[in-house]
Structure 1
Amino acid sequence: MASVFDFSAVSLAGQPVELAQYQDKVLLIVNTASACGFTPQYAGLEKLHERFQARGFAVLGFPCNQFGKQEPGTEEEIGAFCESRFAVTFPLFAKVDVNGPEAHPLWQFLKHDAPGLFGTESIKWNFTKFLVRRDGSVAHRYAPTTKPEDIARDIEALLGT
């Protein structure tokens, strides 16, 4: 069985990142955008990252320009925006497609492992969130409207005591 840790991605700086480095961590993987109505969720995602990081948790952000072209910037512009506007410290990756024939393999896995409403695998909008267990399997899929703070209890449950 595949897990999130079997995939790699490219960092905002253009460096390959093996997701195996997050083995044994609880992850919240999110497709993000800088010009979306949900963009203020960056602040809540950063709060979750800071709150639970020491216990083995990380948020991973994957900018995506597939929804309303709401992530038009370069990787450098995305990084500068997230740092200056929201003081983001969690890892951000290079822009990816989450739907369609060019969808990043990680996102193909996430969608298949945790289909959305009515069993649909496609991502409907920016800030769809996947909570991943320490073994790399998907525990929950959350809609873009789910606020990061509303996920804290589920994170706590996966982190244990």
Structure 2
Amino acid sequence: MNVHDYSVRTAEGTIENLSAYRGKLLLIVNVASKCGLTPQYEGLEILNREYSGRGLQIVGFPCNQFGGQEPGTDAAIQDFCRTIFDVKFPVYAKIDVNGDNADPLYEHLRSQAPGDFAPDGGFLYEHVSKTRPESIGTDEVKWNFTKFLVDRDGGVIRRFEPMVTPEEVGREIGALL
């Protein structure tokens, strides 16, 4: 299976097949509105504006599993993204990315790119070590704004941990487009 084999729920409640993104480079991000990393929305939208015409598609998946930092309804999340960060890329319905109720897309992403969350990850590593120590050394998404880069055929290229900025990811995206 690849990413294009999965379907997801839009914020409006309809089901959308990710095969609609076949032929595009995808950046899939779990997002949150009340996180210290929330300003990454700005960098993600800059990437969207810079590269969408060249074949990049960014998609966001709100998640409330990390410190309860995405408590709003899907409608409130959409409003926040539009009014605060002028986000133009799709932000889908809120999902779980880990655990028994993890969205199947995220189970696939995690299995294909387990991540490299190491002690040199700074304050976020220290925070996760204290608040979610069981996740260290696993394929779990560790925090908000983990990014998965997916090729035009739906294959997962790599995972970028939360502290990797959109600007840093953009250098790799630019080389691939």
Normalized against structure 1, the TM-score is what?
0.95
Cα displacement (A) at 1:59: 0.5
Q: Distance in 1 between matches of 2:18 and 2:115?
A: 23
RMSD between superposed Cα atoms in Å: 1.0
Q: Distance in 1 between matches of 2:63 and 2:99?
A: 12
For each residue in 1:60-98, what CA deviation from the matched residue of structure 2 results, as whole angstroms up to 9, or x when unmatched? Answer: 000000000000000000000000000000001000000
SS in structure 1 opposite 2:84?
A: helix
Q: Distance in 1 between matches of 2:174 and 2:46?
A: 14
Is 2:167 the counterpart of 1:141?
Answer: no
Identity of aligned residues (%): 53
Query: Counterparts of 1:65-104 in structure 2 under 5 Å?
Result: 65-104=64-103
Q: Distance in 2 between matches of 1:87 and 1:43?
A: 8
Could you tell me which amino acid in structure 2 is paired with residue 126 of structure 1? N
More moved, 124-133 vs 110-119: 110-119
Q: Distance in 1 between matches of 2:45 and 2:28?
A: 12
For each residue in 1:123-149, what CA deviation from the matched residue of structure 2 results, as whole angstroms up to 9, or x when unmatched? Answer: 100000001111111111111011101
User: Partner of 2:55 in structure 1?
Assistant: 56
Larger Rg: 2
CA contact (8 A) 2:116 2:161 kept: no
Q: Distance in 2 between matches of 1:75 and 1:122?
A: 23
Q: Distance in 1 between matches of 2:175 and 2:105?
A: 24
In structure 1, runs of 5+ residues without a counterpart are none
User: Partner of 2:123 in structure 1?
Assistant: none
Could you tell me which amino acid in structure 2 is paired with residue 41 of structure 1? Q
Structure 1 ranges of 4+ moved more than 3 A = none
Normalized against structure 2, the TM-score is what?
0.87
Say how many residue pairs are matched: 158
SS in structure 1 opposite 2:110?
A: helix
Query: Counterparts of 1:103-118 in structure 2 under 5 Å?
Result: 103-117=102-116
SS in structure 2 opposite 1:61?
A: strand
Q: Distance in 1 between matches of 2:176 and 2:105?
A: 21
In structure 2, runs of 5+ residues without a counterpart are 118-136
